[in-house]
Every structure is written in structure tokens, then in C-alpha cells.
Amino acid sequence: MYISFFATAALILTGVARAVDTNRKSCDNGPWVAPTFAGEDWKAPDYQRFCEAGLSDGDVLTGIKIWKADWQIHAVSLRWGSHDYGKVYGNAKDANTPDAKAEWDASTKVFIRMWNNKPDDGDPIDAVGKISVEVEGKDAVVVSAKKVGAEIKYSGGAGMILAAAGAQGEWVSTLQFHYLESKIVDAAMTSITFTDSLDKYNSERKGMTPAIIGNLFITNSNPIGGANQTYSLSPKIEKQTSKSVTTSMSHAVGTTIGVKVSYEASVPELMSAKTEFSAEARYDFTTMKSDTNSETDVFAFQWTIGSTGKPFIIYLCTSPIRAHANPFHPSAQGIPPQSAMHCTATATMGTFDSDYTAKITARLDNGKTFDYNDAGSYKSIAYADAASDCRAIALSEVPQGEGEEANGEKVAKKAKRSVLFRGQAWN
């Protein structure tokens, strides 16, 4: 099962320095239509051959600069994803001023038509002679030598270019483009590795802090000598938790379908962990459940407090009081007059914050798959091991306007409005 993870829009590269893959083997095999070259056969020596592939980082071709001469295409330069243009292949008389430039959005279909050149002296084909960049919804960008030979026929597949290969010297002698062979229907993060390990976070209790998640006062304002008051409350405390993943890489191949997180790629979150040896909260792996790269949930704690019918004692004075008039005598039930209960709910808050690297697997509608890299940062905030405690205090210690009068009955709607629950809504 896959859970949707990233939004469908392309993300901008922020902070990860990457270079396009220029290893020639990267153009040997991939999820692309078998490429067909334009220009001369692969006669150029190895040192003149080149390959650029955006595939390893999930990028596609999004731009090309072209320079021409009388008898051939003299140079090209390529752009992948949202990055800058790379090396100029061939001989560009003015590297800053191409004869033409075509650029397009990563999600837009593109087809680059090519023709062989036609040397005027009757020599065999020795270069690319014409290039026409045809972007869906735009006019074609055409660059051509004076004379051209036959157009090279090939399939544009799904309209996305994952790699390009060729040969160059004084001009572009050979050039081919590698088109994604079939539409991408699904992409999922299938593995993720965090810079900081769970063992380190747990052993150091890193990111764990005690937190007050609820706080209320119940009062008895009866005069000294008046009646004690019982109380019963069951407020529900809800604290928001969150998990968010922020990629720092552009993924042009996922712009139209979004990227998902599979259950194979679990993420850390603080949880209660009661074992034979320990009852302390600790970080463990869980899964994303929402359809975005950031999800929130609720940590709920049902807080039940009230007088138990058992007597309790608080000491507020040192002068002796006659036993029959002492509101703090052990026989007293509920909250004595001119006193209050201060109840606090606490929990352990855990923040896991770490960079990550990951692998994303894309699936085509023909059933084939390919992998590409991802990197970014992950953060989760969660709560565990909630507990409550009540202590008796003098009525004078209650902050003004922050107490609810106990009335001998279960506090319901009235308490819901006026019992202090600092910083949180509860019901």
C-alpha cells in the first residue's frame, strides 16, 4: 500500500549541490525507448563521446541551447530539471550567445526532431544538420545548417527525455536523446535513511522534554466552617502532533503524479514503550497516513479527576483550631471550604529532527520500474506517557478567574466553559 507523500508541483532545489550524471554507462540502459542517433555513426574516439543523464536524481531535460555553422550543428548545451545549463559540447564561437534556445516545464511533453547534415563536397554524413525542438503548446524552435540530409525517425515515447548522448569535436558529430518509454503512473519512497539514528536519539533521550499538557483549578469558596464540596471531571485533552518531510531536491519525473511513501519507508516518532524492563517513552518507526508531505494528528488523553470519598488533609495554618470546626480535619470529604485542587496533566514531548537520504521507485504503465535519489529533512513532534496529578492548595493561591466552583455534583457544561485548561480546548 502506498501513501501519498509529496505535492504534485515540482520542488525547487534548496541546498543540495549536485552535478548531472556524466558517466557514459548511465546512458547504456534505462526505462527509455531505444534511442536513434543523428549524424555520423559512432566513429568518434572515446574521449569525444559524452553522456548526460538526469535520471539518477529524478530530473528530465528542460532546456537546450544550440549553435550552428554553415554545414552542421556546431554545439549544444543541456539543462536538466531546474538546474543551470552544463557543459557546451562542440565548438561554440560565442558560448554566451547561442543561435537558439528552447526551454519548457518538466511536466510538458517535448519532441526533438533531428536531421543529418549534407556536406557540400560530397563527403559522407559527419554531423547533425538540423534540430527542431517541439514543445507542446509552443511554436517549434528550429536551428539548421544551409543544407540538410534525411530526417531521423524515432519515437518520442512519453514525451520526457531522461538522458542524452553524443560525440563532439569541432562540431556535434553525433547526438541522440533517450525518451521515457511509457507514462509514469506511480512513484513511491521505498527506502529512507536518517542521518541521526533511533538508537542515538533513544540512548541520549534526545529531543525529549517534559511538557504540561493540561492545567486546571477546582475551588470551594464556602466560608470556613461551611460544607466541603465533591467534584468529578473527565475532560479530554488533545495535543496536535505532526510529521513532515521536506525534500531538498527537484524531481521533475514526479511533477504530474506526485510522489508517495510506501510502508517500506517508515519514519520515526515518539511513542510509549512499556517493556519488561522499562516504561519510558522512546522513538520508534511508524508510517505516514496523509496525502501530503506534512501531516498532523491528535494525541488524546482522557483525564478523569474527582473526589474519591476518602478524606484528605491540607495544612494552611499553624494556629490550633477546634476539631469540630476544622475544615481540614481528616474526616472531611471533598474539597474543604476556602481551598482548591490544582490538577496538572503532563506528558513527554519528543521532537525527532534529522536529515535523510532516500530512494524513490517510479512505476510505468507498462509495468517497468526505475529508481532515483531523494534527500531532505524530516521532523516529527509527538507526545507519550501522559499522567495527571492533583494537589490541595489554599483558595488564595488560585489565579483570579481561573477556577471552577465544585458544587457537590458532577461538573458538566458549566465546567466546560469555565474550568481553566491552559492553552488547550477540551471536552
pLDDT in tens, 48-99: 999 998 888 888 999 999 999 999 999 999 999 888 999 999 998 887 899 9
What integer pLDDT is reported at residue 250 of this predicted model?
Answer: 61
Residue type, 117: N
Reduced to 3 states (helix: H, G, I; strand: E, B; else coil), residue 391 is strand
Cβ atoms of 397 and 276 within 8 Å: the answer is: no
| Helix boundaries (H) for 206-254 | none
Cβ atoms of 347 and 386 within 8 Å: the answer is: yes
pLDDT in tens, 263-322: 566 888 988 866 544 557 888 888 776 555 677 888 888 877 776 444 333 333 322 322
Whose grid coordinates read 554545414? 71
Task: Give the integer Cα–Cα distance in Å for 134 and 152.
Answer: 15
Task: Give the integer Cα–Cα distance in Å for 218 and 404.
Answer: 5
Does residue 41 carry a pLDDT above 60?
yes
Q: What are the backbone angles phi and psi of residue 193, rounded to the nearest 5°?
A: -125, 130
Three cell numbers, residue 204: 541520549
Cβ atoms of 147 and 66 within 8 Å: the answer is: no
**Rounded mean pLDDT of the chain?**
78
What integer pLDDT is reported at residue 251 of this predicted model?
Answer: 59
Reduced to 3 states (helix: H, G, I; strand: E, B; else coil), residue 252 is helix
- Greatest mean pLDDT range, 12-21, 102-111, 244-253, 403-412: 102-111
Angle at 377 between CA 372 and CA 378, to 5 degrees: 110
Cβ atoms of 186 and 35 within 8 Å: the answer is: no
What integer pLDDT is reported at residue 260 of this predicted model?
Answer: 67
pLDDT in tens, 323-355: 223 333 333 368 899 999 898 899 999 999 999
The alpha carbon of 387 is separated from its chain's Cα centroid by a whole number of angstroms, namely 32
Confidence band of 3 (pLDDT split at 50, 70, 90):
very low
Angle at 376 between CA 372 and CA 379, to 5 degrees: 135
What integer pLDDT is reported at residue 145 of this predicted model?
Answer: 93
Q: What are the backbone angles phi and psi of residue 199, rounded to the nearest 5°?
A: -60, -40
pLDDT in tens, 169-191: 899 999 999 999 988 888 878 78
Report the range of poorest mean pLDDT among 98-102, 116-120, 198-202, 413-417: 413-417
Residue type, 359: K
Give the chain's domains with CATH numbers. Answer: 32-181 (2.100.10.30), 195-245+268-354+375-418 (no CATH)
| Helix boundaries (H) for 290-361 | none
Q: Beta strand pairing status for 184-194 and 260-262? A: parallel
The reported pTM is 0.65
Cβ atoms of 374 and 245 within 8 Å: the answer is: no
